Amino acid sequence: MKKILSYFSIIFFILFLSNCGDKKPDEESADKKDRNMFGHYIPRGLTIKSDSLMPGFAMFSPSNSPYTYLVNRNGEVVHEWKGSYAAFNTYLLDDGSVLQGANDPDYPVFGFGGPYGRIQKISWEGKMLWDFEYADTTQILHHDFAVMPNGNILALAYETSSYEYALALGRKPEYIPRSGPWMEKIIEIEPQGARGFKIVWEWRVEDHLIQDFDETKPNYGNPQEHPELFNFNLGDSIPARITQDSLDILKAMGRGGRNLTLDNPHSDIYHFNALNYNPELDQIAFSSPELSEVYIIDHSVTTEEAAGHRGGKSGRGGDLLYRWGNPENYMQGDSTDRKLYYQHDIRWIEKGKPGAGNLTLYNNAIPMGPDSLSYSAIHELNPVMTEDGNYEMLSNGRFGPEEPVWNYVAKDTISFYGSFISGAHRMENGNTFINEGPKGRLFEVTPDREVVWEYLVPYRGNIHKPNGEPRNMMRMTYSTFRATFIPADHPALEGKELKPIDPQPEPFVMPPPPPEEDKKE
């Protein structure tokens, strides 16, 4: 985890604002347009369109908006779906409907770290087909979900725990939030009716922990000898508790999340932020930016087997089959061996696309050196799999590969940079579609890393807080958590009229900055 030196930096980190402070001297000399991570006061809309583009559309949900838009290659909106709440991420189904993560306005307890609490299914015509709520005082949907071929949905969820519970699992006291850590689970949801559901499968991180702190606990052992388990004592010690006055000030400033208390900072210890399902392998990939690693587990196990270490096609129950990005986490290297820095959007390349079977991800904040700029990269990984569904380890005791088989980095390195959210995926023609999330920049690059299409989201919604107050547009004015390229021959688009809608949605125009902010820009 990142070393956090003060409570204010913690709050900024929770809100994904750790890179939004005053610019360093070397940043001042960087190109202002390209290094403007949030895209403020720069031209929006279509900026690059090359010849011979693959026919298709970009699908995204603007910040603070219930809408999901489908945009053609000219940057024109040709269709929209509208949910009931701010859309978090969206997946297009073959029948033209979408599944939207929806930001429930009144979920309790949780309030930072990407919770949203609802998934809504909306038809092409705009009818609400399913409205699923999973948000109470003990658990909540967060960040990402994946649609399975059978119509079920795999989703990430937080689970509350207590200080005493974490202590009983062998976590060091100085690492335990006073209200207890939020543990992670993956649930498989079977939709039923207009609002119903059934949880048909689940996996919990707490069943796959090891620790070398308290030998009286059942999960005591050497993490180096068990790379299939999470070391429960990774992280930073909990800072001193702030005062109620300080908490009141933070809330008055609109920072820290609506359910922030004196006791729950640092509860989000893993912050799983991406989920992907491979139906051919019956495996699940997911990402923890807090640990700077991506993982794969076996879905062929039963729920009972998922809680143990035996069973399934792999024979390893719910233990980790694969991990990559930070071998120091399982004591097979040091900080110099780290590859990932707060990564997002791990996913397999689907069958029929170049690189099929490989993994792609967005590596958000790669440092160039002490007290220097960070930059982003897209990686393509080719892990070697054995016949039994497991993954080979290298002779040095780490999971491979040593290096990605393909990378995208900006030509000047620093101009491609989004320190949080964001994503990337492979297209049918071999190009890679990228969402530079904080800026709301969607673009396409060739295998030779040439940018052939670029569009900066010009929209922002106007959803207000439950008390009627407007939401602060800064800094995440145009941010997009996830964006997807939809090919023109996608089954959902068959027979659909895809002309630009009239009128087009109204672009959001930034108000002029105050003089002092203008000088800083």
Q: Determine if the pTM surpasses 0.85.
A: yes
Specify the pLDDT at position 33. 60
Percentage above 70 pLDDT, the chain: 92
- Region 325-339 average pLDDT: 97
The model's confidence at residue 512, banded by pLDDT at 50, 70 and 90, is confident
Q: How far apart are CA 369 and CA 42, in angstroms?
A: 28
Say whether pLDDT at 515 is over 70: yes
Number of Cα atoms under 13 Å in the Cβ half of residue 360: 24
Sorted by where each begins, the domain ranges of the chain are: 7-229+242-520
Pairwise pLDDT comparison (127 vs 111), residue with the higher score: 127
**Which tens digit of pLDDT belongs to each residue from 166-196?**
999 999 999 999 999 999 999 999 999 999 9
- At 246, the amino acid letter reads S
Say whether pLDDT at 18 is over 70: no
The model's confidence at residue 142, banded by pLDDT at 50, 70 and 90, is very high
Say whether pLDDT at 26 is over 70: no
- Evaluate whether 281 touches 350 at the Cβ level (below 8 Å): no
Backbone angles phi, psi at 24, to 5 degrees: -80, 165
Q: How far apart are CA 312 and CA 299, in angstroms?
A: 8
Pairing of strands 67-71, 77-82: antiparallel
CATH 2.120.10.30 is held by the domain 7-229+242-520 = yes
Say whether pLDDT at 205 is over 70: yes
Say whether pLDDT at 423 is over 50: yes
**Which tens digit of pLDDT belongs to each residue from 497-507?**
999 999 999 99
Say whether pLDDT at 517 is over 70: no
Across the chain, mean pLDDT equals 91
Q: How far apart are CA 57 and CA 55, in angstroms?
A: 7
Q: How far apart are CA 295 and CA 277, in angstroms?
A: 12
Specify the pLDDT at position 272. 97
- Evaluate whether 432 touches 378 at the Cβ level (below 8 Å): yes
